[in-house]
Chains A and B, each alone.
Chain A
Amino acid sequence: MKQPSRNVARFVNWVEGEEVFPVPEEAERNQKPRKKKAPVKAKPASPEKEKRIFALVYDGISVVVCLTVILTLLVTVSWLPRFGGQDNPAENEVYIRYLEGELEEAGAINAVAGMILDYRAFDTLGESNVLFIAVCSVIILLRADRNRKTGALNIPELENRRALQPDDSIFRGSAALLVPIGILFGIYVILNGHLSAGGGFSGGAIIGASLILYANACGPEKFERAFTFRTYQWISFFALMTYTLLKTYSFYTGANHLESHIPLGTPGAILSSGLILPLNICVGLVVACTMYAFYSLFSKGGFGNGQ
């Protein structure tokens, strides 16, 4: 257990910029666990000097590569059409069709929400699945094992986790003030996604950040009892499944020229624009759960007591 702490001290030095290139002997001493000798080769005269020259060459190459990439791209940019022009090739007939048909076909005041959740909804579904898959791979990489006998989590580098819990009344007070406002604001952003700027992605991220703040300030114990791995699984599953079924219905009826029985409502009311509101709620749930899951996997190597 001494080895990591020594390495940590060396690391802190290195972060402070005091020790840029560790001396080779010390580096070798620090790697004690694998102390088998490397096959001795012809040693260079002074490895330190060689390393310094190598670092200089490396920095020089960095600057040259950076300037080459930037200059090449800048020449390309100078041939692009002017910024903000009406006749640029990006401004083609597609967006005019979207903007003119939006209010009758999707019923959303916010054209961006109408576009990503109505015209291009399967794109957004794939994107929610990307979030789910990212959480799965982070679980594979970082989930901590359980000790067979004691049942405790087996994370050697987190032994002093208790000492890290902040015992700060200012932090706690401001968190108690901010967390409800943050969660309420996130819910507002999600529910008004079709009326104003916002939507499932931004609202879900706001709620996730508020949950992280709560878990950090007030201690994760209470929260973990409610939010276990099983909860995460079920919320993600139901949100993605609801999204898929709703959108399958609307695409099926649309492709076969059947009548869709989903009323669009009057534009501007909160219960309007057909499927966009439930789809926004689904996306918001997935994003909020994903953000909290990232945090808890990184900080504790697991979700709650129930794992």
Chain B
Amino acid sequence: MNFGVVFLLTFLIVCAASVAMTKNLLAAVLIQMGYSTIMSVIWLVLESPDLAITEAAVGAGVTGILFFVTLRRIGLIGGKGGRKK
């Protein structure tokens, strides 16, 4: 049992649980992107570099962008005056 790997796996569980707890949607999306980044390191530990490079580009990049664009479209982030109102 490798303790570095156990630390990474614990991080996954903590990320998922904190998304379940949080009320802030932007924070939930950011936590999900961090989860994907840790996941790509775990793919490297599991000797699958193809999965690691795909997860880093897709999970942490494009999925996060899609969530951000959705939040902007429905007016939760960005816009005039932003979130200070």
A–B in direct contact per CB < 8 Å? yes
Q: Which residues of A contact B (CB under 8 A)?
A: 4, 8-9, 11-12, 14-17, 20, 110, 112-113, 157-158, 160, 163-164, 189, 196-199, 201-202, 205-206, 208-209, 212, 291, 294-295, 298-299
In the complex, which of the residues B52, B73, B76 contacts A11, with contact meaning CB atoms closer than 8 Å? B76
The reply to whether B53 and A299 contact each other, CB–CB distance below 8 Å, is no
Assess the B73–A12 pair: CB atoms within 8 A: no
What are 26 pairs between A and B in contact, CB < 8 Å? Answer: A9-B85, A11-B75, A15-B24, A15-B25, A15-B26, A15-B83, A112-B50, A157-B74, A160-B79, A160-B80, A163-B79, A198-B50, A201-B54, A201-B58, A205-B57, A205-B61, A205-B62, A206-B61, A209-B65, A212-B62, A212-B65, A294-B66, A295-B65, A295-B69, A298-B73, A299-B72
Alpha-carbon gap, A206 to B59, bound state (A):
11
Q: Which residues of B contact A208 (CB under 8 A)?
A: 62
**Considering residues B62, B70, B76, which has the most beta carbons from chain A within 10 angstroms of its beta carbon?**
B62
Contact A205 B58 (CB under 8 A): yes
* Pair A202/B80 contact, Cβ less than 8 Å: no
Given contacts A157-B75, A158-B73, A197-B49, contact A202 B65 (CB under 8 A): no
Inter-chain residue pair count (beta carbon < 8 A): 81
Contacts of B50 on A, CB cut-off 8 Å?
Answer: 110, 112-113, 197-199, 202
Task: Tell me if B54 and A202 are in contact (CB < 8 A).
Answer: yes
B66: min CB distance to chain A, Å: 6
Would you give the shortest CB distance from A5 to chain B, in whole angstroms? 8
A291 to B65, CA, bound (A): 10
How far apart are A55's CB and chain B's nearest CB, in angstroms? Answer: 12
Main secondary structure of the interface of A (DSSP, over half): helix
Q: Is the CB of A17 within 8 A of B69?
A: no
Whether A12 contacts B61 by the Cβ 8 Å rule is no
A298 pairs with B69, CB closer than 8 A:
yes
- Name A18's closest neighbour in chain B (CB-CB): B23
Q: How far is the CA of A299 from the CA of B79 in the complex (A)?
A: 13
Assembled-state Cα–Cα distance A201/B57 (Å): 9
Question: A199: which B residues are within 8 A, CB to CB?
Answer: 50
- Cβ-closest 4 pairs across A and B: A197-B49, A205-B57, A17-B23, A202-B54
Tell me the smallest distance from the CB of A74 to a CB of chain B, in Å.
12
* Chain A proximity of B59: nearest CB distance (Å): 9
A12-B85, A164-B72 as given contacts; A295 in contact with B66, CB under 8 Å:
yes
B4 to chain A minimum Cβ distance, whole angstroms, is: 16
Least Cβ–Cβ distance between B70 and chain A, in angstroms: 6
Residue of B nearest to A198 (CB): B53
A140 to chain B, nearest CB (A): 17
Q: Which residue of A lies closest to B57 (CB)?
A: A205
Q: B83–A12 contact, CB under 8 A?
A: yes
Inter-chain contacts of B54 with A (CB < 8 A)? 201-202, 205
Task: Other than A163-B79, A202-B54, give 7 A-B pairs with Cβ distance below 8 A.
Answer: A4-B75, A8-B85, A158-B73, A205-B58, A209-B57, A212-B65, A298-B66
| Complexed CA–CA distance, A160 and B72 (Å) | 12
| Chain A residue with Cβ nearest B49 | A197
Interface hub of A20, A202, A209, A291 (most chain B Cβ within 10 A):
A202
Chain A positions within 8 Å of B78 at CB level: 164
